[in-house]
Amino acid sequence: MERLKDSIHFIKIESIREEKCLEDCAGLTWKSYRPFLEAAQCDNRLALAACAGSVPVGLWLSARTPSEETPKTHTLLSLFVAPEWRRRGLATDLMQAAEGELSALGISSVTTSYSSILPGADAMSCLLRKQSWAEPVPDRIRICGRVGDTFATSRAWDLLLKRLQRQGVRYLSWEEAGDGVLEQAAAMVDAGEAPAWSDPRPWKDALSAEFSLAIFDGAGGLAGWVICERQEKLGRWYFPIGWVMPPEQDRGTLVGAYLEGSRRIQTGNGASALAVLEASPRQGRAWRLFEKHFSNFALWSDRLLISQKDLGIEPALLFE
């Protein structure tokens, strides 16, 4: 199909005054991201609309990464082109225009992540490669299933938990472990004994103290933790973080924590309660075990793909 570049113009959403046009822009991104379109967020995000006349037909939405370590980084939240305007190169033009705007703002890099099972995942990967982004790679595996099916995947799970118990491994909920477990975990992160991505502090207000677990080794020391959050609107439990010290990784201690968490959820909420388990290559053996033993019994599973692009901003330009 012929490209119609001359009929398209790009405009920052804060410059749009027509209410109908703003409503149309909101329809070009996920509902959960629409609060980013509000004018009050303009200092922290870039919302760039591609318009045919006064009608938005595409939208780039990225937001500043909330980290002191990466203050000049944006995260691409969504990139969408209306179906009737696809296959004309509009996504490419919109991405190039957005990257130019970010460069002008002094943003040095852009990252993104997306599910491998989204309908547009392959097209997104092709677009990123075409625009010289880093090759998209799997960063996490996510598996959603009924907690009652967890133990049905293998008879070995009961044996694993019994073996860990004999070795002195204990799983205590954050309620049972007491308030000090958060401070202890935070101290381990600050001291470099636990990786930054495992930091439980950002989840302090959202975590379920009933089903988040502190993991203690045979000597009684804190050896790791698993964070569990209730996602009420989605009707499920979510395990975004799980970490154990290296000596525990090959003993199945982290897998045992997820099994124990699932067992506790089943006891309190029934076998049909839904849970999403998440693992990454940083968790070593857990990634491989999840994919091997749990994926075939899942209601759905995917991989979260990540990519990044350096916008090539010279440091001196950031202060001009």
Q: Is 315 helix (H, G, I), strand (E, B) or coil?
A: helix
Where would I find the beta strands (DSSP E) of the chain?
Answer: 8-12, 45-52, 55-64, 73-81, 109-115, 137-146, 170-173, 213-216, 222-231, 236-244, 274-279, 300-310
pLDDT band at 317 (very low <50, low <70, confident <90, very high): very low
pLDDT band at 197 (very low <50, low <70, confident <90, very high): confident
Only one residue has tokens 């075939």, namely: 296
Looking at residue 319, what is its pLDDT? 28
Long-range contacts of 312-317 (CB under 8 A, 24+ apart): 312/103, 313/72, 313/103, 313/106, 313/107, 313/108, 317/106
Strands 109-115 and 300-310: antiparallel
245-272 pLDDT, tens per residue? 988 887 889 889 999 999 999 999 999 9
Looking at residue 1, what is its pLDDT? 32
Looking at residue 70, what is its pLDDT? 59
Looking at residue 75, what is its pLDDT? 94
As a whole number, mean pLDDT of residues 169-185 equals 93
Q: Over 60: is that where the pLDDT of 5 sits?
A: no
Looking at residue 43, what is its pLDDT? 79
Q: How many Cα atoms sit within 13 Å of 37 on the Cβ side? A: 23
Looking at residue 15, what is its pLDDT? 82
Tokens of 293: 């033993």
pLDDT band at 315 (very low <50, low <70, confident <90, very high): very low
- For the chain, give every domain's residue range: 5-138+306-319, 141-305
Q: Over 90: is that where the pLDDT of 128 sits?
A: yes
DSSP designation for 273: -
pTM: 0.75
Looking at residue 188, what is its pLDDT? 95
Looking at residue 287, what is its pLDDT? 73
The rounded distance, in Å, linking the Cα atoms of 7 and 286 is 51
Number of CB atoms found within 10 A of residue 238's CB = 20
Q: Is 112 helix (H, G, I), strand (E, B) or coil?
A: strand
Q: Over 90: is that where the pLDDT of 274 sits?
A: yes
Say whether 141-305 and 5-138+306-319 share the same fold: yes
Does the domain at residues 141-305 carry the CATH identifier 3.40.630.30?
A: yes
In terms of pLDDT, which residue wins out, 111 or 34?
Answer: 111
7-38 pLDDT, tens per residue? 788 888 888 778 888 888 889 998 888 888 88
Q: Over 50: is that where the pLDDT of 316 sits?
A: no
Looking at residue 318, what is its pLDDT? 32
What is the fold, at CATH topology level, of the domain defined by 5-138+306-319? Answer: Aminopeptidase (3.40.630)
131-149 pLDDT, tens per residue? 999 999 998 888 899 998 8
In terms of pLDDT, which residue wins out, 116 or 152?
Answer: 116
